[in-house]
Structure 1
Amino acid sequence: TDDRTGLAKRIEPVRMGGRLAPAMPLVDSAAGES
């Protein structure tokens, strides 16, 4: 989330199983990174 606004900086799908291709969001390796 954005520290100033509290809103999400990005939105990514999370899909596991079923008929759609799997998709996992990218996660920042460093905590607090902008």
Structure 2
Amino acid sequence: DGFLSREDVTQAMDDFFYSQDPQSPGNGMFGPY
């Protein structure tokens, strides 16, 4: 339907902000957690 479910958004945010990948764009801004 073109809309992201809450789970999709939460997973994407989790991957973005809390990824262990040092090359992840979120880690460039916030550092790895």
Shorter chain as normaliser: what TM range? under 0.3
Q: When the two structures are superposed, what TM-score results if normalisation uses the length of structure 1?
A: 0.20
Which of 1 and 2 has greater Rg? Answer: 1
Q: Relative contact order: is structure 1 or structure 2 higher (C-alpha 8 Å, sep ≥ 6)?
A: 2
Q: When the two structures are superposed, what TM-score results if normalisation uses the length of structure 2?
A: 0.20
